[in-house]
Amino acid sequence: MNSHSTREALLQRARVWAAEDPDPQTQQELLDLLAGLENPDASLEELEDRFAGTLEFGTAGLRAALGAGPMRMNRVVVRRTAAGLARFLATKAGSAYVPRVVVGYDARHNSLEFAKDSAAVFTAHGFETFLMPSALPTPVLAFAVRHLDADCGVMVTASHNPPQDNGYKVYLGGRVVTDAGQGAQIVSPLDQEIAAAIDYSTPLSSIELADSGWTVLPGKGEDDDVAATYARAVADAVAQKVTDEPSDKYLPIVLTPLHGVGGETMESVLRGAGFTNLHVVQEQSAPDPDFPTVTFPNPEEAGAIDMALELADRVDAALVIANDPDADRCAVAIKSTDGWRMLRGDELGSVLGNFLATSLADSAEGAVFANSIVSSRRLAGIAAAHNIAHSNTLTGFKWISRVPGLTFGYEEALGYCVAPELVRDKDGISAGLLVAEIAARRHAKGENLQQDLDDLDLKYGLYATDQLSVRVSSLDLIGAMMGRIRAQAPESLGGSPVDSVIDLSLPGGDLPPTDGVLFATADDTRVIIRPSGTEPKLKCYLEVHLNADAPGTLDEQRLAAQERLAEVRNDVSEALGL
The CATH homologous superfamily for domain 461-576 is Alpha-D-phosphohexomutase, C-terminal domain (3.30.310.50)
Confidence of residue 534 (pLDDT cuts 50, 70, 90): low
Given pLDDT bands bounded at 50, 70 and 90, which one contains residue 473?
confident
Across residues 98-102, what is the average pLDDT?
98
pLDDT at 576: 87
521 has pLDDT over 70 = yes
Of 111, 159, 372, 496, which one is the catalytic site residue? 159
More confident of the two residues 365 and 307? 307
pLDDT tens, 4-51? 788 999 999 999 999 999 999 999 999 999 999 988 888 899 999 999
pLDDT of residue 94: 97
- Is residue 75 a contact partner of residue 115, using CB atoms and an 8 Å limit? no
Q: What is the pLDDT of residue 436?
A: 98
pLDDT for residue 369: 98
Percent of the chain with pLDDT over 70: 99
| Identical fold, 55-216 and 461-576 | no
Q: Based on the residue annotation, tell me whether 159 is a catalytic residue of this protein.
A: yes
Give me the pLDDT at residue 536, please.
78
Q: Tell me what pLDDT residue 92 has.
A: 97
Please list the helix, strand and coil fractions of the chain in percent, rounded to the nearest 5, in that order. 40, 20, 40
Task: For the chain, give the percent of residues with pLDDT over 90.
Answer: 86
What does the DSSP 8-state code read for residue 462?
E
- What one-character-per-residue DSSP string does 389-448 give? EEEEE-SSHHHHTTSTTEEEEEETTTEEES-TTT-SS--HHHHHHHHHHHHHHHHTTT--
Domain boundaries, given as residue ranges, for the chain: 1-52, 55-216, 251-457, 461-576
Range of weakest confidence among 28-32, 335-339, 389-393, 554-558: 335-339
Identify whether the C-beta of residue 517 lies closer than 8 Å to the C-beta of residue 502.
Answer: yes
Q: What is the pLDDT of residue 578?
A: 77
Average pLDDT, the chain: 94
How confident is the model over 241-298, as pLDDT tens digits? 998 899 999 999 999 999 999 999 999 999 999 999 999 999 999 999 999 999 999 9
Residue 87's pLDDT band, with cuts at 50, 70 and 90, is very high
Superfamily of domain 251-457: Alpha-D-Glucose-1,6-Bisphosphate, subunit A, domain 3 (3.40.120.10)
Residue-level pLDDT at 4: 75
Tell whether the model's pLDDT for residue 1 goes beyond 60.
no
Distance of CA 313 to the CA centre of its chain: 29
**pLDDT category, 2, cuts 50, 70, 90?**
low
CATH 3.40.120.10, domain 55-216, yes or no: yes
pLDDT at 205 over 80: yes
Q: Is the pLDDT of residue 515 over 80?
A: yes
Predicted pLDDT of residue 255: 98
Q: Which helix (H) or strand (E) holds 336?
A: strand 330-336
**Three-class secondary structure assignment of 176-235:** CCCCCCCCEECCCCHHHHHHHHCCCCCCHHHCCCCCCCCEECCCCCCCCCHHHHHHHHHH
What is the mean predicted confidence (pLDDT) over 144-160? 97
Average pLDDT value for residue range 96-102: 98
pLDDT band at 470 (very low <50, low <70, confident <90, very high): confident
Report pLDDT digits (tens) over 381-437.
999 999 999 999 999 999 999 999 999 999 999 999 999 999 999 999 999 999 999
Phi first, then psi: give them for residue 392, nearest 5 degrees: -95, 145
Residue 548's pLDDT band (boundaries 50, 70, 90)? confident
Distance of alpha carbon 12 from alpha carbon 3, whole angstroms: 14
Query: What average pLDDT score do residues 120-132 get?
Result: 98
Length of the chain: 578
Count of CA atoms in the C-beta half-sphere (13 A) of 494: 23
